Every structure is written in C-alpha cells, then in structure tokens.
Amino acid sequence: MNVGYARTSTVEQVAGLEAQLRDLKREGCEKVFSEQVSAASERPKLDAALDFLREGDTLVVTKVDRLARSTQALGDIVDQLHQRGVALKVLQFGNETLDTNGAYGRFILNMFGAFAEFERSLMRERQIEGIQKAKVAGKYKGRKPSARLKADEVVRLFKNGKSVSEISREISIGRGSVYRALEQAGLK
C-alpha cells in the first residue's frame, strides 16, 4: 500500500499543501496523512503515518524536506522504516523510484537531505542578515506579538473546555503560545 505524507510549515501555505496532496493522490496513495506544522515541532500526523505503515508498504513524500529537516533526522526515519520492511519513495526524483534499501539509493537520499539542510541554513543566515540591516536602518520592528493579543481568547476557550490543540488550531497560534497564555493566567 502506498501511504502519503504531506506537510507545510504554516497554515498559510495552502497552495503548497494542496499541490503535495494532488501529487500524492496521482502517485496512487491510498491513505494520506497531512499537517501544517513546522518540522522543528511535534508532528502528530507523521507519527500517525509511521504507526500506520506495515511491512511491504511504501511511504511516499513529495520532497525530502517535507519528511525531515536534517540528515540525521532523515537517517533515523529511514532506518526505522527499513527495520519494519517499509520502503520510501520521494517524488522529488521524478519518474525514478528511489530505493533506499540499497547503498546507492541511501547515498542519493543522504545527499538530497544534506542539500535540504544546507539550503535551510543559508535561508536562516540571509534572514538574520536582513534583520540586522533593518535594525541598523531603524526599519525593523519585529513581528507583531499576535499570540499575546489573543491571550484572553485562549483563556476563554480553555475555560469552555477546549483542549490546547483545539485552541491552537481555532485561533491560529502555536501550542507553546497557548501554554504560555494559560500559564500567565494561572491555569497551567
């Protein structure tokens, strides 16, 4: 069975998620797990996909960086899959199926993982550099503290019986921000 996993880092990246879902369906994925969370945070749908997979199944992702943020994390996931007899297919490689069971496939996958990690590092360096320039020019104000502005709503929803995850989704802030608002209100 082909099982797909799609991820975007933020809820605003709707088109990116839709494109991944389209590609996974086109690839014949019978079941698809998707989420809109940063790879640096908990990914419950990835965990659910990994739990769902059985020996002989294939996990399908559109790009390596949708699955893991670093070569170490990628290696850990691939090792876990192989120990369970699950294949990995990355659509980034076009019509070719990347067989990660062999040495060559593993090498290519690690190369692409390293490139993705390198690209992420470069983006972060450019971002920091741009922020520093903007600060020197007096143009950087930082992002608006949207989570703090929603603290009263967080408390209201929590008192109405909503879970942290539900609150996070409903008002589009991170779970950590929800916990901070609840902690500041003396509720956690």
Catalytic residue among 9, 38, 41, 121: 9
* 156 conformational bin, left if phi > 0, alpha if psi -120 to 50, beta if neither: alpha
Alpha carbons 128 and 56: distance in angstroms, whole number: 44
Catalytic residue list contains 9:
yes
Distance of CA 187 to the CA centre of its chain: 29
Cβ partners under 8 Å of residue 2, min gap 6: 27, 28, 29, 30, 57, 58, 60, 89
Q: Which residues are catalytic?
A: 9
